[in-house]
Structure formats: C-alpha cells, structure tokens
Amino acid sequence: MTDRLVEANQRYADAFRDPGMDARPVLHVAVVACMDARLDLHAALGLDLGDCHTIRNAGGVVTDDVIRSLTISQRALGTTSVMLVHHTGCGMETLTEDFRHTLEDEVGQRPAWAVEAFRDADQDVRQSMQRVRTSPFLPHTDDVRGFVFDVTTGLLREIDPAD
C-alpha cells in the first residue's frame, strides 16, 4: 500500500512548484483534530498549503504531546489561535480505559499512556479546551475554540465551553 502512496507522490512532485514559504503558518492558527480518515481538514476548513499547523491523534485529545506541539507552534512559529475538532462517530467513544488492561494481559506490559477514551464528544471538546486554556506553557490562550464535525453532513458545530 505504501508503494501506491509513493507513486502518487511522484505525480504530486511533478506538478509541485516551490511556493517559497517559511514555516510560520499564514493564518497563525493551530488545529488539533482526530486522525479519523473521514475528516479532510484542509477541504472542510477551506485551508490552503501553509495556512495552519495540524496536530492530529486518536480522538483529537489534548495530551502532553499535543501541548508540546502547541507550545512549539506558538512560541517558535507564531500561531496565536487554537481550534479543536472532534467528530461524530469517533472510535474513541467505543473504547474504555479497559483497553489498557487488555493490552497488558496480551503483551505483559501496561502502556504508560492513557487511552483518553470518551463517551461524549461535546464534553471531551470542553475538557480539551480547558487543558489548552490552563496550560502554563502557552502564551496565547484567548482564542481557543472547539467544534464537533459531523461526518455525515460535513458541518462543524461549535461547542460552548460553559455548557
């Protein structure tokens, strides 16, 4: 399968012209989103090459590693806004922390990381916003907004942090 992607890259490079950008995102925004294959962030948000940082993981949850990336994004590369995107039908809603114990039973070692499973995407967006806003490492926490993307309609729904 990877061969297919490498072949596609050769076609991409044939048409590619160096846009002469530096690494600082043009829109000064970092987007934290789930890795879900149905979520095409650039298309869904009207983003072009160079516009933003995209930080993705299972669930789009704000882990220590996401804070690490956001810290570098803000302090070294000039972003000032954070957008969080969870989505409907997320696989994280079907997991629990039992997943860690299952892993331990199977491989004889419990992972150091939390699964960060959640039942309610809206509530996890609120928690994620809170984690970003309270991070001592981030200089810009005024513009932090969270959304749930509907994979059946393509629409974002904003989550009110106060609900």
Positions in the binding site for Zn ion (CB under 5 A): 34, 36, 90
Q: How far is the C-alpha of 132 from the C-alpha of 90, rounded, in Å? A: 21
Residue number, 74 or 118, with CB nearest to Zn ion: 118
Query: Cβ-count burial of 129 within 10 angstroms (0-12 exposed, 13-18 middle, 19+ buried)?
Result: buried
Instruction: Output the smallest distance, CB 115 to Zn ion, in A.
Output: 13
Provide, rounded to whole angstroms, the least separation between the CB of residue 83 and Zn ion.
16
From CA 92, how far away is CA 48, in angstroms rounded?
28
Instruction: Report, in Å, the least distance between residue 157 CB and Zn ion.
Output: 15
Closer residue to Zn ion, CB minimum distance, 91 or 139: 91
Q: Which is nearer to Zn ion, 25 or 59 (CB)?
A: 59
Choose among 29, 123, 117, 119: nearest CA to 79: 29
